[in-house]
Structure 1
Amino acid sequence: MSPTDRSGSGPGTAEHLGMRPGMIVMESGYDDDVDQDVRDSIVDLTGEELLDDDTDEVVDVVLLWYRDGDDDLADVLVDSIAPLADDGYIWLLTPKRGRGAHVDPSDIAEAASIAGLSQTSITTAGSDWSAARLVGRKSSGPKR
Structure 2
Amino acid sequence: MVAAADAQNYAQKLGIIHGLVVQELGWDEDTNDDLRAEIEETIGSELLDEDSDEVMDVVLLWWRDGDGDLVDALMEVTGQLSDEGFVWVLTPKTGNSGHVDPSEIAESAPPAGFTQTSAISLGEWAGSRLVQPKAPSKQR
Question: Is TM (by shorter chain) over 0.5?
Answer: yes
1:66-87, CA deviations, whole angstroms, 9 ceiling, x for partnerless residues? 0010020000011121211110
Q: What corresponds to 2:62 in structure 1?
A: 65
Q: Distance in 2 between the 1:26 and 1:86 partners?
A: 15
Report the CA distance between 1:30 and its aligned residue. 0.4
Q: Distance in 1 between the 2:4 and 2:69 partners?
A: 37
Q: What corresponds to 2:114 in structure 1?
A: 117
Partner of residue 32 from structure 1, selected from 29, 34, 37: 29
Q: Distance in 1 between the 2:61 and 2:83 partners?
A: 18
Q: Distance in 2 between the 1:65 and 1:138 partners?
A: 25
Report the CA distance between 1:3 and its aligned residue. 5.5
Identical aligned residues as a percent? 46
Q: Are positions 1:133 and 2:129 aligned together?
A: yes
Structure 1: stretches of 5+ with no match in the other structure: 6-10
TM-score, with length taken from structure 1: 0.88
TM-score, with length taken from structure 2: 0.91
Q: Distance in 2 between the 1:141 and 1:89 partners?
A: 19
Give RMSD over aligned pairs.
1.7
Listed as ranges, the matches of 1:1-144 within 5 Å are 2=4, 4-5=6-7, 12-125=9-122, 127-140=123-136, 142=138
1:46-97, CA deviations, whole angstroms, 9 ceiling, x for partnerless residues? 1010000121100100010000100200000111212111100001100111
Report the CA distance between 1:142 and its aligned residue. 4.0
Q: Distance in 1 between the 2:60 and 2:91 partners?
A: 11
Q: What corresponds to 1:8 in structure 2?
A: none
**Secondary structure of 2:47 counterpart:** coil
Q: Distance in 1 between the 2:62 and 2:99 partners?
A: 12
Q: Distance in 2 between the 1:141 and 1:24 partners?
A: 25
Q: Distance in 1 between the 2:75 and 2:55 partners?
A: 15
Is contact 1:2-1:12 (8 Å) kept? no
Q: Distance in 2 between the 1:119 and 1:103 partners?
A: 15
Structure 2: stretches of 5+ with no match in the other structure: none
